[in-house]
A and B are shown apart, each in its own frame.
Chain A
Amino acid sequence: MKNTLKNVFHSPRFLVGFIIFMVILLTVLIYPYFVTRDPLLSLGKGFLAPGTYLSVYDANNAPTYRMELPEAAINRLESAIPTEDRQVMLDFLKVKGADVSGVSTANDSLDDLLALWKANYDEADVKASKYQGFSTQAQRNKLRRLNTSILASEQASAMSLSKGEGDAVAVSDTDYIKVNEVANAVSLPLGTDNFGRDTLTELVKATGVSLIIGLIAGTVATLLGLVVGLLAGYVGGIVDDILMFIANLFTVIPGFVLLILIYYSVGQAARGITTCALVIGFTSWVWTARSVRSQVISLRNRDHVNLSKLSGHSLFRIVLTDILPYIASYVVMAFILQVSSGILAEAQLSLLGLGPKTTDVPTLGLMMNWAKLFGAYTSSNAWWAYFPVIGVIALISFSLNLMNTGLDQVFNPALRD
């Protein structure tokens, strides 16, 4: 046993898969101790992009520090003049006949662009609409607005803000506040979903729930498959025929369709997490049963099994001591694959709106479903609401598949490189 484990952990594939899986598992277990907020708590309205959000009110009341960043002015300009405006400026300069070679809309040539602009812009000429391509009122207004905003962001303008009870205090452009001294600052590394929930917290919780679903489904499927496979393979005859007939039925009516039908038959009220997992397990045992059966058939006429039979051992004992140990490694691998396909099955079902009907916990599939329903793919273009979910699903199955191929190489010498 110890030696086997040592071999297993010497397989690089298994190790990489194991480490990825453990990182996911530990995150799921430890994260709730750091962020104690309810994962389904709605913080805001609709999709908010990832970032740190500071309360404006509290930011005003936070202590200020004086700091003079040399690049402060240019940073301010860069964010004040978007690329489209820079393009307009370039177009204007071209019409004006200025030498724009070497000047682009990129950040590092903003200085040159502004210098050119100031040298060439003339309010009176613009008013007289002397320039080709800027003849309509709207276009002239655009130029004028642009000029005003450039001047405004360049001057270190003093704002006055009301602090506390109405007395106005001047804020200069060299005043800074510290993020962790703002009473209310929320860091949302993955933004919020359509309900305004913190996506990261929700994702961690959903990963945990989906892992549980995978575990239940995998256990049910592996146990069922193991029992059916052992019985069909070892007992043979009519038992084998009947069991394989049932297995055939499950193959012929594809698991996915069967799952949807059973699932609907169970009814809305009963469609919780556990039911979902049980149904998935109940529909996916077939291939495990088939492989176990074929292995048992090749084992059942070995000498040590025959010897046990002659010694009058019970069927139960023969299966347990003479057959199971030989297929144990295979069963472990099948179990790993079943867990991974169980997680995937839940995600697919939920995506179609046939997943667990619950408002207490999120699952990976439900998060995908919400993202789809509320237009995260198309209208909102909120990648943070679904892309990390797909990533987590892919990582879980990737790590489990890696562990599986690693085990395969250890236990099946013919596959070794």
Chain B
Amino acid sequence: MSKGMRKYFKKKIFWFIITFVAAVILNFLLPRLMPGDPVNAIVGKNVSPGASPEQVQEQIAFYQHQFGLDKSIFGQFFDFVVNAFKGTFGVSYSQYPRTVADIIGSGIWWTLALQIPAILVGWLLGNLLGAVAAYRRGIWDKVLMPVSLFMSAIPAFGAAVILLVIFAVNLGWAPVNGAYDPGMIPAFNWNFISSVISHYQLPFWSIVLISIGGQAVGMRSMSIYELNADYVKYSRFLGIKDGKIVRYVFRNAMLPQVTGLAMSIGSSVGGALVAETIFSYPGLGTAMYNAIVSSDYPVISACTLIITLMVLIASFMLDIIYAFIDPRVKAAQFD
């Protein structure tokens, strides 16, 4: 490892840590700025109608102690960090006495299993279409590009709603909401798995459909840019075979697309919010939405922490990978 490279990595790691710490503090602080007292809401739900004011006060004090809300903001932050290290993230306010880790644990697998395959499939199909459109031109380009451009203009929730209405409500090919038949108990048998698969289709395709358009447009313009580059003309003069040139061209055009892929996987949990609410999919997006509605700070903090970590790691990995694969970054950063 050269000296320049070491310096580059040191600088990256330094900013990674600083950003992480600041993000953790913000993740803790922002939800707590939200109006609405969560303890009052819980007590209001649980206290019997005839309770005396003293009893209500006692209840409030009990829950405040349970949640550590009687401590100063610094004490609360200390608890937050300790709980994060323990992996429990504390107790949920709205679903007391469930722990935050439990709520997140039940949601995150649904979200990841939905988002990551959908993003990958959409990315692959979109890039393929974009590359073909750039290389073949002609009718492919003339028809495909306006269609892709229009597809990428349809908002994510719009595509989800249209799919929902056509395939679930009118044609009845797929269930309207949820991740599996509500009458079923999760188990590893064929009935349950087929129910999960049929519930999976619509949210999956709504995400794929949206990402295809954007990726195709991006890949096409990158490919055209590269196809017009000097090295391509020079290679042609040298008589290098077309197939070989095209391989170079698309490898170079892929670079920014890889960034896009990593960032969209990093932000997949955050992006899950809309599709999940429309299909009532029991993932992290739905959990976060419910937490926001009921001022459930620990759940919100934990969700945003997960999103933050995923995005941070994705962008950090990109910086590292780029330093190795892109000679331009190498030249710019290591000198």
Q: Are these two chains actual partners, yes or no? A: yes
Chain B 168-188: CB-based contact to A (< 8 A → 1; otherwise 0) = 011000001000000000000
Q: Are B18 and A253 in contact, with the CB atoms below 8 A?
A: no
Give the A-binding residues of B (Cβ under 8 A). Answer: 15, 18-19, 22-23, 26-27, 30-31, 33-35, 137, 149-150, 152-158, 161-162, 164-165, 169-170, 176, 217, 221, 224-225, 228-229, 267, 270-271, 273-274, 277-278, 288-289, 292-293, 300, 303-304, 307-308, 311-312, 315
Distance from B222 Cβ to chain A, minimum over Cβ atoms (Å): 9
Contact of A393 among B19, B27, B155, B300 (CB under 8 A): B155
Contact call B308/A252, Cβ cutoff below 8 A:
yes
Pick from B35, B149, B165, B307: contact of A398, CB below 8 A: B149
Q: Give bound CA distance, A249 to B304, whole Å.
A: 12
Majority-rule SS of A interface residues: helix
Contact of B157 with A348 in the complex, beta carbons under 8 Å:
yes
A225-262: CB near B (< 8 Å → 1, else 0) gives 00000000000000000000100110111101110111
| Residue pair B224, A245 in contact (C-beta under 8 Å) | no
Cβ contact of B304, chosen from A253, A265, A372, A402, cutoff 8 A? A253
Q: A254-B311, A261-B31, A401-B152 are in contact. List 20 more A-B contacts (CB 8 A).
A: A249-B26, A252-B312, A254-B271, A256-B273, A257-B288, A257-B307, A261-B300, A261-B304, A265-B30, A265-B34, A267-B35, A347-B155, A347-B157, A372-B278, A377-B169, A381-B169, A398-B153, A401-B149, A401-B153, A417-B224
Q: Is the CB of A253 within 8 A of B26?
A: yes
Q: Does B169 lie within 8 Å of A245, measured CB to CB? A: no
Residue of A nearest to B285 (CB): A352
- Is A264's CB under 8 angstroms from B292's CB? yes
- B161–A386 CB distance below 8 A: yes
Enumerate 14 A-B pairs (CB-CB under 8 Å) in ascending A order.
Answer: A245-B19, A248-B15, A249-B19, A254-B270, A260-B292, A261-B304, A372-B278, A377-B161, A378-B164, A381-B165, A393-B158, A394-B153, A398-B149, A405-B149
> A254 and B176: CB pair below 8 A?
no
Q: Please provide the 5 A-B residue pairs with the shortest distance between their CB atoms, ordered closest to farther.
A: A390-B158, A398-B153, A254-B270, A397-B153, A265-B33
In the complex, the answer to whether A252 meets B149 with C-beta atoms within 8 Å is no
Taking a contact as CB atoms under 8 Å apart, the answer to whether A348 and B149 are in contact is no
A262 and B161 contact, Cβ closer than 8 Å, known pairs A257-B304, A351-B274, A398-B149 = no
Using Cβ atoms and an 8 Å threshold, which residues of chain A touch B312?
252
Number of interface residues of A (CB under 8 A): 45
CB–CB A394/B154 < 8 A: yes
Q: Given the complex, which residues of A lie within 8 Å of B271, measured CB to CB?
A: 254, 256
Contact A352 B273 (CB under 8 A): yes
Asked if B164 and A415 make an inter-chain contact with CB atoms under 8 angstroms apart, the answer reads: no
> CA of A245 to CA of B23 in the docked complex: distance in angstroms?
11
A252 adjacent to B23 (CB under 8 Å): yes
Interface flags, A324-355, vs B, CB<8A=1, else 0: 00000000000000000000100110011110
A370 to B2: give the CA distance in the assembly, Å: 60
A412: nearest chain-B partner, CB-CB: B225
Kindly state the separation between the CA atoms of A347 and B35 in the bound complex, as whole angstroms.
23
Asked if residues A394 and B270 are in contact (CB atoms below 8 Å), the reply is no
CB pair A415–B221 under 8 Å, yes or no, is yes
A362 to B176, CA, bound (A): 28
Interface readout for A262-291 with B: 1 if CB under 8 Å, 0 if not?
Answer: 101101100000000000000000000000
Q: Is A383 interfacial (CB 8 A cutoff)?
A: yes
User: Distance (Å) between the CB of B29 and the closest chain A CB?
Assistant: 9
Closest B residue to A246 by CB, please name it: B22
A381 to B34, CA, bound (A): 36
> Residue of B at shortest CB range from A408?
B221
Are A264 and B34 touching (Cβ within 8 A)? yes
A397 to B155, CA, bound (A): 9
Known A397-B155, A398-B153: A245·B35 in contact at CB below 8 Å: no
Residue of A nearest to B295 (CB): A264
Name A409's closest neighbour in chain B (CB-CB).
B221
